[in-house]
């Protein structure tokens, strides 16, 4: 039985997806159904796919440095489409100084290079359990 559905997206022009593909495998091994959108997707494509696939969470992987704009746009589109209940987390080369800004936008967790797979899975498990409790309440 699946622990939930997660979409992994690569927003923007970044063409490097080794990390995103690794995260897909880690989350599948941890019991999640995972949808991978591929590289160079717009925030609009990612949000549309997330809604169509009825996911519980979106994981955004970015290396280009455009995380503030792209993550913000994904969150804005989720709000516009009435899908604020979809948890958003991110990873990639995100400077520590930008993490508070992203969390203030609504990104629930940020995983940077060197984060252990165990800590990532544990954090996502906790986020989705919290989401489930909020949806029931």
Nearest to 35 by CA among 14, 64, 56: 56
Beta bridge partners, 35, equal: 7
Average pLDDT over residues 14-33: 93
What pLDDT shows up at residue 53?
97
List the chain domain ranges: 5-136
At the topology level, CATH places domain 5-136 in Rossmann fold (3.40.50)
Average pLDDT over all residues of the chain: 94
At 95, the pLDDT band (50, 70, 90 cuts) reads very high
pTM for the full predicted model? 0.95
Distance separating alpha carbons of residues 132 and 100, to the nearest angstrom: 25
What pLDDT shows up at residue 101?
97
Task: Give Cα 123 distance to the centre of its chain.
Answer: 12
């Amino acid at each position: 039985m699946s622990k939930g559905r997660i979409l992994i997206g690569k927003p923007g022009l970044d063409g490097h997806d080794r990390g995103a593909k690794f995260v897909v495998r880690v989350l599948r091994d941890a019991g999640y159904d995972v949808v991978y959108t591929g590289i160079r997707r717009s925030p609009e494509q990612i949000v549309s796919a997330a809604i169509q696939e009825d996911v519980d969470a979106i994981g955004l992987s970015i290396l280009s440095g455009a995380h503030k704009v792209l993550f913000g746009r994904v969150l804005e589109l989720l709000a516009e489409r009435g899908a604020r209940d979809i948890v958003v987390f991110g990873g990639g080369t995100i400077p520590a100084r930008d993490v508070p800004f992203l969390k203030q936008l609504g990104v629930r967790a940020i995983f940077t290079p060197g984060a252990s797979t165990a800590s990532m899975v544990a954090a996502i498990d906790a986020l989705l359990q919290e989401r489930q409790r909020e949806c029931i309440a």
